[in-house]
Amino acid sequence: MGVLTKDSRPQFAGLRGKLPQEVFGSLPTPCYILDEVMLKQNGEMLAGVAERTGCKILLAQKAFSNYDLYPVLAPYLAGTEASGLYEARLGAEEMPGKEVHVFCAAYREDEFAELLKYAGHIVFNSPRQLAKYGAAAKQAGKSVGLRINPECSTQEGHAIYDPCAPGSRMGTTRAQWDEQMTPELAAMLDGLHFHTLCEQDAGDLEITLQAVEQRFGDVLPKMQWLNFGGGHHITRPGYNISLLERCINYAQQKWGVTVYLEPGEACALNAGYLATRVLDIIKNGSTNIAILDTSAACHMPDVLEMPYRPPLYGAGDAAEKSYTCRLGSQTCLAGDVIGDYSFAAPLTEGDRLIFGDMAIYSTCKNNTFNGMPLPDIWVLHENGTTQPLARFGYHDFKYRLGSPR
């Protein structure tokens, strides 16, 4: 197994020096394309961290759930992380023989027994949930954990993804622990879990780990494992892997725990594309606007929710190149705009555009608002060929809304 220790790959490196038209020119639009080579290289980098530190790394399926590609990642990972019954089942079925961890803010009574069939680690959000379900999990031979909230926010610009914001529903604060945790409940715990990061570097993890030690340092020596959660942008160029590994080693040596990481983006960063086509060009005052056959709201919702600006092959920031154009969608949502990009020449009807970094929070988060078709899903194989994985049509829209007939 090859091990990468540093990522110097530019965006769109998966095209291997070819133009998008050469690789994707015959594919329908809109469509997602998942890149086997980039997934494998991400896996190699993560495996390097695990091999050097002894930690275990899981795929956070909320970011990437395209199970046809799980065999590409499986050799490099300890298993999968789930947020509920369906993801737990998917991980168990599609990455067989690997660990399945699940965390949910609150479990359903009518699902919990089935969940125990698939997950080996059950993480609870509150002492109340631990009291309700912990004994059943222990009786089933599961490893039981509690998510803690170290009350340490290190995020800027995307509050929707900050689990440590004041009043957060995510995790147990130390005050809640002291008020609600009994010796009997604490005795059921095998580990603690925290998740505070989002697309962040290891410096923020170091700050968070200090807060964890300050608030829960007396509890950690009694644990078997400590889960650092996700949000670690490990495969991003420039990420401080050496500091990450020092944090892992510190926790393992200080408290005698096994450290888990459950990144989502790091597993599939820059490992997908979205091909789209220009349907029309309009001009409103001084603003050039291209209407595309894709949608931010439907096909890349984090563009609006986070928000962020996805990379676009051959394009620059607004006014960086000679022609600036706003890219929008067919939908009736006025704000369904991907962003302002600049190009060396004006766009024309029929032009194909390729967005990058579209393997994460896309296929697993898209929707059919306004009757927008779901993009097909293709794979770019290691040998350079492409293959369809899933095709969608009218009935995928219709049957989410009512009975098939």
What is residue 244's predicted lDDT score, i.e. its pLDDT?
97
What is residue 5's predicted lDDT score, i.e. its pLDDT?
43
Q: How many CB atoms lie within 10 A of CB 350?
A: 8
User: Per the domain annotation, does 76 fall within a domain?
Assistant: yes
What is residue 1's predicted lDDT score, i.e. its pLDDT?
36
H helix count then E strand count, the chain: 14, 17
288 pLDDT band, cuts 50/70/90, is very high
For residue 405, pLDDT beyond 70: yes
164 pLDDT band, cuts 50/70/90, is confident
Min mean pLDDT across 149-158, 191-200, 273-282, 316-325 is at 149-158
Report whether 111 contacts 85 (CB < 8 A): yes
Do 152 and 172 sit in the same domain of this protein?
A: yes
User: Per the domain annotation, does 27 fall within a domain?
Assistant: no
Cα torsion 340, 364, 68, 56 to 10°: value is 100
69 pLDDT band, cuts 50/70/90, is very high
Do 255 and 358 sit in the same domain of this protein?
A: no
Q: Helix crossing, 241-255 with 202-216: angle to 10°?
A: 20
225 pLDDT band, cuts 50/70/90, is very high
Nearest Cα neighbor of 209 from 187, 222, 192 is: 192
What is residue 63's predicted lDDT score, i.e. its pLDDT?
97
9 pLDDT band, cuts 50/70/90, is low
User: Per the domain annotation, does 192 fall within a domain?
Assistant: yes
For residue 156, pLDDT beyond 80: no
Do 108 and 245 sit in the same domain of this protein?
A: yes
CATH number, domain with residue 113 = 3.20.20.10
Do 255 and 342 sit in the same domain of this protein?
A: no
Q: Which residue, of 244, 268, 292, is where some domain finishes?
A: 268
Tokens found for residue 105:
């803010």
Average pLDDT rounded to a whole number, residues 377-405: 96
Q: How many domains does the chain have?
A: 2
In the chain, what is the straight-line distance between the N-terminal and C-terminal CA atoms, in Å? 50
Do 195 and 324 sit in the same domain of this protein?
A: no
Do 226 and 298 sit in the same domain of this protein?
A: no
Give, in order, the Cα–Cα distances in Å from 195 to each of 48, 250, 261, 331, 338.
22, 18, 10, 35, 29
For residue 4, pLDDT beyond 50: no
Helices (H), 95-233: 109-118, 127-139, 174-180, 183-187, 202-216
> For residue 5, what are the contacts with CB-CB under 8 A and spacing of at least 6?
45, 48, 241
Average pLDDT, whole number, for the chain?
95
User: Per the domain annotation, does 9 fall within a domain?
Assistant: no
User: Per the domain annotation, does 259 fall within a domain?
Assistant: yes
Average pLDDT rounded to a whole number, residues 39-60: 98
Residues 98-137: tens digit of each pLDDT: 999 999 999 999 999 999 999 999 999 999 999 999 999 9
For residue 71, pLDDT beyond 90: yes
pTM, whole model, 2 decimals? Answer: 0.94
CATH number, domain with residue 360 = 2.40.37.10
How would you class 148 by CB atoms within 10 Å of its CB: exposed for 0-12, middle for 13-18, buried for 19 or more? buried
Rounded Cα distance between 386 and 23, Å, is 8
Q: Which residue, of 239, 268, 297, is where some domain finishes?
A: 268
Do 261 and 284 sit in the same domain of this protein?
A: no
For residue 277, pLDDT beyond 60: yes
Report the Cα 405 to chain-centroid distance in Å.
36
8 pLDDT band, cuts 50/70/90, is low
For residue 32, pLDDT beyond 50: yes
14 pLDDT band, cuts 50/70/90, is confident
Rounded Cα distance between 317 and 91, Å, is 39
Do 168 and 240 sit in the same domain of this protein?
A: yes
Q: Which residue, of 252, 268, 284, is where some domain finishes?
A: 268
Give, in order, the Cα–Cα distances in Å from 19 to each of 13, 292, 316, 353.
11, 20, 17, 11
Q: Which residues of 193-215 are buried (b: 16+ CB within 10 A; e: fewer)?
A: bbbbbbbbbbebbbbbbebbbeb
Do 158 and 254 sit in the same domain of this protein?
A: yes
Nearest Cα neighbor of 367 from 310, 307, 294, 309 is: 294
Do 329 and 383 sit in the same domain of this protein?
A: yes
Domain that holds residue 384: 272-398
Do 235 and 100 sit in the same domain of this protein?
A: yes
Tokens found for residue 244:
């990450």
Rounded Cα distance between 334 and 331, Å, is 8
Do 222 and 238 sit in the same domain of this protein?
A: yes
User: Per the domain annotation, does 26 fall within a domain?
Assistant: no
